[in-house]
Structure 1
């Protein structure tokens, strides 16, 4: 990359006409010219490397910043928020002096190229974000999207991704408690591998990514720096896939979970002894990111000697060292008198640690190599003052026709036999079928604090053993809804995750998001993105759940074909006592089934329209966020006061999907009666939002009805838990055996 063995700052100033490979590193001509303008000279090869990775779409959010500002501008007032957008992860107060940090990120492109390592290093990266906040990681979640379930390449990508997530997370000793798996042809060639993590700490243990205090030492610790992942996630995720381009295999990082486990314990011990002033993990953009962000967030400058970086490959150039995304590395800022103790702790945990620089009282980031200064920049220009694009966006011409193609007009079953067949087809379809083949590869209960995990509505972890304090997390997103209407689709994702947390008895507190879209250079995609962000920001304001942070993943398309707009929303909630949680499974025969909320003819983007008719069109279900808030309050109160023994939200697949899942999990059937004013088809398959089905002990029926009535929530008795079938009176009956065979046999059959 360098034009001379030592392309110093002095050499760059003296050789303005030297050509540099800015285009090969992903910079546009005007971006390169902006770098020259900032520096007042051409950049050195090392400076060019830093600007190229830090100004990439993945790191700089240059196409999305103008829209993401809404999350701050429309943020609801929240007493729980301790650390918000801009840090490695958001932090919320969950009571009793505890704080919880959580975040969701993407590792989409690397996971297509190299499924196992792409997914594994996605888990590793998000866990390091959690550690960097000062927290002990306690759980992970994995929202996943793959191409068509029967496509040959899905058999390559899915098992590799699942093995990578399971292998890395299990080796770290972290339970995988939630997530989702969705199949759709639009993700062919562009799987979405989103990974989330949760960490717990005391309030006083929160750490931030900043380098303050002149004379403080900068310590790089963890794995040695190698050639894997050079420009990996940062550049790989900043362009559209094209089969004609050479393989990007070398750009995918390689993970070592055992090294990461040592890194976790080493870091937490250093935190415990108050040795760390500031800290930053090395993820996308590696040392370029860690040094520039620590310096720009601090009160001074930084001087780094690159020769001191421990290497796996002695032939690496300084540019490659700065761009490498080798995993399991972190950067800490430590006061001089505490350096020896910090290094002792690293040695105890068999973690390589090296002082590579120090904080200065200036305002420059200076990096040296073989005695020459190869970087001399204002760190803010690298880390924070990159390009900001107001990309043109426009509602696509085809949107009206798509919405006019109304799913409510599709042919419906004409007999009870046809209705029964369609129920069986739905519960056995890839998206509605059991994901046990996947989730059984994850350890759900390691550490002993998991109280709910897949396939529950939300995962739940006990935070305090004595009091039973716990947190719940759910991730949701429906690309089909968002394709029909991105504003509403984003709010439906928020509403479903909010509802899933409330269904288990936890109070929703805050949001993280992972926004997966196609190329921002396409005005139609940019419109989808703008609408989804607007919808999510408006929804969070109305529900009182601030966005604490998240991730944007763009360029998820192959050639001209973009994925469905897929905003994935994670909602975190708190529960005072995990012993009062509400599970999905039916618990006892004789309990009464109640449907909460209103059911309408809403089939746009529905599972029924996809499974039975392979159709996508019309409008998604309407969103009533005030109704969602009321439903949440009812579910939380009923859980706390022992009025319900099971609950399940209604979403993909409607009521019949929810009832079948609760019946199969509990090993108990249900007899259902179609309420007055509804036909059996709408009753079973509608995907109206703001609904849940609950099982109420007979002793609590009056109290439960009185509570719903007093608060104005529609409630309808629809049946009873009973027997070994799911029966819709006057229509059909399906045995649990037949339902289980259909529900649990699909995924193993497809992937065998």
Structure 2
């Protein structure tokens, strides 16, 4: 990539001269779609990002939300799509590393990861190669740094063949008094770089992420992919904690897109300030690096801190304790963002400020930081509105359809994926992956309550659980971008409610193809509006996120994919299981929530059998539905709760059956079995009347049948019967392990 003619004219006019090579490269990266959101920012105002619980909203490295009195969590999400196509292992691993450092820069300790992954058709050898590499990269990095991966999703769709998606979210934990932001605070403070040495890896990563993948991307774009070192990241995590403990940090920014140039310029721009940076002072991994390489390399495991002059020695001592590199690279000023480089000093063994007066010093960047960070003009792109198809359903045999949907990789067990992740490290995971949502124990919130709340003084101190859900469904948003995105938000909220939690906040990763194509941009606009509308209806502010466009390749654009990571809170850590246990025998099985007309648009059934249908209608009162379900889930009479979404009731019921308990269920149509209307759940209860009363005036409740001790699913649909025992269902659903182990 290079600056367009229009952008070059703007830069020339602002500077009053032609930019230097380093300035041109810096503008190219920071004005790229990946950094400047030129095609998406005009749409993002649709999101509601404020609320009583929101402490720091969009615009920083991560959002900060109050989960309990005085206890904050951070939420962040990012994509590493193109790097994961070129190098699935390192691309995914460094995606984990980057989102964890975003968490550190807010003063938080990372407590959970969630990964949402999207690949081409599972039957393709290349898709399996990417899947195996990505999962290994995530597990090796996350496991090594001691952060549990507790939630996520994995989906397969033919349109991801030339461009997979790797979206990773992180949740962090901090106290009120440890909060740090990226806004530089005061002229005269020092800028200190801590972490790995800078090499030549990841050069031009931001611009690489802002263009379509070519046929030769796997070889030509390899230098743009960073190389991760999780053991250094773990040291950085602990060093960051030590710096916060000693109150040595004024502001912080992790080095991600556009490397040092991106992090340092954005930090001072946010504070309305400038900087003077000596590039040769940066500790380097490779000899003879030039100014542009030092400025833009995206080498991993690095943080930039603003530090008061009197605290620099203490920061250097912490870095030395954790065997991390440390460089004082410059200071905050009231002027422009200025980078100088002394090539003679850089050739020395250990460049220092004293050596930097050799006469070889050159000013390579001298620009206004705010213009660099926010001066990119927004794109005004044409959009074509997608249309929904009419109803045209094929004939389908009940047994064939059941086995095809329940055994499809999209709806089958993802145990092969999550068993490679350590989800128990840190010993706070109460409900792990494989369930509707994860639940984490926020013991710190209880301590906070014990210290000062009225409840604590009255002896009513309560534990707080944090539920986490993440994912999207490309079948839904391919069929209907707006309605499908609304469904994605509702499904994530329903996942939380099934564990007894109500939504707290959300972050999104909005993935789309080439926005210059009107039909692609129309679909992208649809997922933005749909996600925004449903999150607002749920009362879940969207407090941050990431946009990834130009996910296009010779095989075509990806489906518009709005990954949502949502958190919720609840009293206590206990949550009802998603499966039936031995003590569920005799419980009544109910499905709560409106069926949306049992439409099959976007369903896994139609994806395999063909045909078309309109997307299901969603409830007009989603917030009430979710809150009521959360209350029912926490009832002592509730034996199990499982959301109904991908694969419909067929998959929900199949997942609930165990060796200890089965179910006998009767439905009146194939549509009722396979429709995927979200906002519904199967509830196993010993008090069905109480559930009906709870949902009275909120949503319909229908009886499905009864749980028993058969260890089998006995299913009758429109008079036709099927029976599968738990072992048969497990074998049907274990397709990933069967094909990959």
- Tell me, yes or no, whether TM beats 0.5: yes
Kept in 1: contact 2:159–2:555 (CA 8 A):
no
Task: Give the whole-Å Cα distance in 1 for the aligned partners of 2:613 and 2:89.
Answer: 38
Choose which of 606, 628, 636 in structure 1 pairs with 2:603.
606
Task: Give the whole-Å Cα distance in 2 for the aligned partners of 1:649 and 1:124.
Answer: 32
SS in 2 for 1:70: coil
Give the drift of 1:405: 5.0
Does 2:704 match 1:715?
Answer: no
Summarize deviations over 1:389-420 as a string: whole Å, max 9, x none: 1112223xxx44xx33535x22233xxxxx13
Deviates more, 1:221-230 or 1:89-98: 89-98
2:380 maps to what in 1? Answer: 390
Deviates more, 1:264-273 or 1:327-336: 264-273
Choose which of 628, 646, 670 in structure 1 pairs with 2:663.
670
Does 2:214 match 1:242?
Answer: yes
Distance 1:440-1:546 versus aligned 2 partners, 3 A rule? same
Choose which of 689, 693, 697 in structure 2 pairs with 1:702.
689
1:472 maps to what in 2? Answer: 467
Summarize deviations over 1:526-562 as a string: whole Å, max 9, x none: 1111122122222222221111110111111113711
SS in 2 for 1:531: helix
Summarize deviations over 1:104-161 as a string: whole Å, max 9, x none: 2100000000000000000000111111111100010100000010111112211000
1:584 maps to what in 2? Answer: 578
Does 2:602 match 1:629?
Answer: no
2:456 maps to what in 1? Answer: none
Kept in 2: contact 1:518–1:565 (CA 8 A):
yes
Task: Give the whole-Å Cα distance in 2 for the aligned partners of 1:706 and 1:121.
Answer: 50
2:642 maps to what in 1? Answer: 648
Does 2:14 match 1:27?
Answer: no
Does 2:389 match 1:404?
Answer: yes
Kept in 1: contact 2:198–2:286 (CA 8 A):
yes
Task: Give the whole-Å Cα distance in 2 for the aligned partners of 1:150 and 1:701.
Answer: 43
| Counterpart mapping for 1:8-47 below 5 A | 25-47=1-23
SS in 1 for 2:672: helix
Kept in 2: contact 1:593–1:717 (CA 8 A):
yes
Summarize deviations over 1:698-723 as a string: whole Å, max 9, x none: 2x3333333223x4431122112211
Does 2:724 match 1:741?
Answer: no
Unaligned runs of 5+ in 1: 1-24, 414-418
2:453 maps to what in 1? Answer: none
1:438 maps to what in 2? Answer: 417
Distance 1:87-1:95 versus aligned 2 partners, 3 A rule? same
Task: Give the whole-Å Cα distance in 2 for the aligned partners of 1:378 and 1:616.
Answer: 56
Deviates more, 1:281-290 or 1:297-306: 297-306
Kept in 1: contact 2:195–2:236 (CA 8 A):
yes
TM-score of the superposition, structure 2-length normalised? 0.92
2:364 maps to what in 1? Answer: 374
Choose which of 575, 593, 596 in structure 2 pairs with 1:597.
593
Kept in 1: contact 2:594–2:699 (CA 8 A):
no
Distance 1:712-1:544 versus aligned 2 partners, 3 A rule? closer
2:407 maps to what in 1? Answer: 428
Kept in 2: contact 1:670–1:727 (CA 8 A):
yes
Task: Give the whole-Å Cα distance in 2 for the aligned partners of 1:522 and 1:210.
Answer: 36
Task: Give the whole-Å Cα distance in 1 for the aligned partners of 2:273 and 2:396.
Answer: 68
Kept in 1: contact 2:67–2:569 (CA 8 A):
yes
Task: Give the whole-Å Cα distance in 2 for the aligned partners of 1:520 and 1:273.
Answer: 46
2:79 maps to what in 1? Answer: 106
Choose which of 486, 493, 498 in structure 2 pairs with 1:498.
493
1:657 maps to what in 2? Answer: 651
Task: Give the whole-Å Cα distance in 2 for the aligned partners of 1:436 and 1:44.
Answer: 52
Task: Give the whole-Å Cα distance in 2 for the aligned partners of 1:726 and 1:651.
Answer: 18
1:159 maps to what in 2? Answer: 132
Kept in 2: contact 1:476–1:494 (CA 8 A):
no
Task: Give the whole-Å Cα distance in 2 for the aligned partners of 1:566 and 1:26.
Answer: 28
Unaligned runs of 5+ in 2: 343-360, 447-461
Summarize deviations over 1:640-665 as a string: whole Å, max 9, x none: 3323121111111111210111114x
Does 2:125 match 1:141?
Answer: no
Does 2:157 match 1:201?
Answer: no
Task: Give the whole-Å Cα distance in 2 for the aligned partners of 1:485 and 1:721.
Answer: 36
Task: Give the whole-Å Cα distance in 1 for the aligned partners of 2:88 and 2:18.
Answer: 39
Distance 1:99-1:185 versus aligned 2 partners, 3 A rule? same
Task: Give the whole-Å Cα distance in 2 for the aligned partners of 1:743 and 1:560.
Answer: 29
Task: Give the whole-Å Cα distance in 2 for the aligned partners of 1:105 and 1:617.
Answer: 33
Summarize deviations over 1:635-692 as a string: whole Å, max 9, x none: 221233323121111111111210111114x742111123xxxx23123112223211
| Counterpart mapping for 1:52-63 below 5 A | 52-63=28-39
Over aligned residue pairs, what C-alpha RMSD do you find? 1.6
2:569 maps to what in 1? Answer: 574
Give the drift of 1:625: 4.5
Does 2:298 match 1:325?
Answer: yes
Task: Give the whole-Å Cα distance in 2 for the aligned partners of 1:428 and 1:667.
Answer: 21
SS in 1 for 2:78: strand
Task: Give the whole-Å Cα distance in 2 for the aligned partners of 1:708 and 1:521.
Answer: 46
